[in-house]
Every structure is written in structure tokens, then in C-alpha cells.
Amino acid sequence: MELLEVRDVYKSFQGFMALASVSLSVAQGSFHALVGPNGAGKTTLFNVVTGRVSPDRGQVRFHGRDITGWPTPRVARLGIAISFQRAQPFVSMTVLEAVTLARLGYERKTLVWGRSLARHREAVERAEAALAKVGLEAYATSPVAQLPLGDLKRLDVAMALVAEPKLLLLDEPLAGLSRVERRKMVAFIGNLLRQEGITLLFTEHDTEAVLALADRITVLHQGRVLAEGSPEEIRQNLEVRQAFLGGSI
């Protein structure tokens, strides 16, 4: 069953065609990679899915429901979580506070002021559980501002997980990490999401990681879908293209 469907989406910015006739299906439970050079339209496509950008044409469907043009907070509460490429969670808070806030945002409980954040026991417990899943439980009371980059990414993932999403979008989860950290992160993401049964749509430049993680790959180039298939198919497809085109991607 398709969890997310992008149908024939177009988006241009001041004459620049960022996305042209892009279609994409993400099957429930699959790990779907979106690859392509910088400027291929990966981030724009993410923004279209999360509602930060409205497409000029086309549709986004989630669970068969048309969510095109929905505002970001509403998309988020539907079960689509995102972790950003440049993870900059709430720097003025502690780790636990940031994740608790993410949970309360998902529950739409942030317009109340009768009770302090720390006394929303259930949300705090869920936040603690999410931190344990990403291995940050020891840093619960640390200020976010003091975390190193790798931990910030884990924190950002915990903030996404705490909302119990059905679909997780990861924008270059490995950017800025060292080789060792990358390998750990790939294993970590793979194990965690399989365990939780969360569907994944991600972008990544690290080919090795993409091949290790993805069940399915869509190649974007200049705003268009160049190829789609299993990792094996894409590998062959790319080799064929490279043989003819001389490695333009």
C-alpha cells in the first residue's frame, strides 16, 4: 500500500523550474531514497510534502488523502515528521525540554499555561522514551546548545520520533558527520525505524549509505525524475547512463 503519493508536481521559483512533473510513491514500511546533485529539487520536494511550499500544480496524498497545500503544523500532526539537514533544535532549552515541547506540539497542547511543561508527566515520559531510543537519555538535562553535531542530529530525530510519525523525512542525515559516525548513524536509523515500523523518505549524497539503507531509490535531476527503481536497478541504470553520457551525475 502507498503511504505517500506525489502526483505530477510542478514548482517554479521566479522562472526557475525547481520541480517539473515529479511523481513519487512511497510504500508503507519502505525506506525510500531521493538522490541527485545539489539543486536537483530534493529539498523543494520535501518542502512540498511538509507544506512549507505549495506546488504550482499536482497533488500530495497521504494515506490516500489529499493534503496538497496544508499548512506545515497540520501536516506534522497528521503523522509526517521531519528532521532537518542542519539540525538546529531549540537552542535555549535542555534536551528533555525540547523533546517534550515537540510532543506537546504534536498533541496541540501548547496553547495552555495552567500547568508547567515539566508537569505534563505523560509528555515528559514519552520524551524520555524517545531520548532513550536515540541513546541520549544521559543528556536529558544538558542544554541543547552544548551538544556536538552528531548528538544534535540524534536529538532532532528524537523530536521527530516523539510524535510517533507514520512517515519520517530525513534531509541528509549524514551531512557533516565523520566516516565512523556515518556508519553508526546508518545502522542506528535502519534498526530504529524497522523496529518502530516507520516509513522513511530520505535524501543523502553518500552513495554507500543510500545503497545500504534504501529499498527503493528515485533519482532527481534538474527538477525531473530521471530514474526510479530498486538499488540494484538504479546502479545498473546509472552505469549505463554514465557509459553513454560520461558521468554527468
**Distance in Å, CB of 218 to another protein, minimum:** 22
Q: How far is the CB of 101 from another protein (least distance, A)?
A: 5
Q: Name the phi and psi angles at 12, rounded to 5.
A: -125, 145
Whose Cβ is closer to another protein: residue 101's or residue 227's? 101
Stretch that binds another protein, among 24-32, 68-76, 196-204, 207-215 (CB under 8 A): 68-76
Angle at 198 between CA 192 and CA 200, to 5 degrees: 95
> Closest approach of Cβ 11 to another protein, in Å?
18
- Binding to another protein by residue 84, rule CB under 8 A? yes
Q: Give 20's strand partners.
A: none
Q: Which is nearer to another protein, 10 or 90 (CB)?
A: 90
Residue 110 burial by Cβ neighbours in a 10 Å radius (0-12, 13-18, 19+): exposed
What burial class does residue 173 get, using C-beta atoms within 10 Å of its C-beta: 0-12 exposed, 13-18 middle, 19+ buried?
Answer: buried
Q: What is the C-alpha separation between 203 and 205, in angstroms, rounded?
A: 7
Position 93 contacts another protein (CB under 8 A): yes
Residue 132's nearest CA partner among 152, 107, 165, 154 is 154
Residues in 33-62 that interact with another protein by CB under 8 A? 50, 52
Integer Cα distance of 27 and 56 in angstroms: 25
- Of the listed pieces 12-20, 87-95, 127-135, 206-214, which binds another protein according to CB under 8 A? 87-95
Q: Using the minimum distance from each CB to another protein, give the nearer residue, 86 or 194.
A: 86
Backbone angles phi, psi at 206, to 5 degrees: -75, 100
Q: Give me the half-sphere count of Cα atoms (radius 13 Å) on the Cβ side of residue 129.
A: 12
Smallest separation, CB 81 to another protein (Å):
7
Selected binder of another protein within 29, 39, 105, 143 (CB under 8 A): 105
Interface residue list for another protein (CB under 8 A)? 50, 52, 71-74, 76-77, 81-82, 84, 88-93, 97-98, 100-102, 104-118, 120, 156, 159, 163
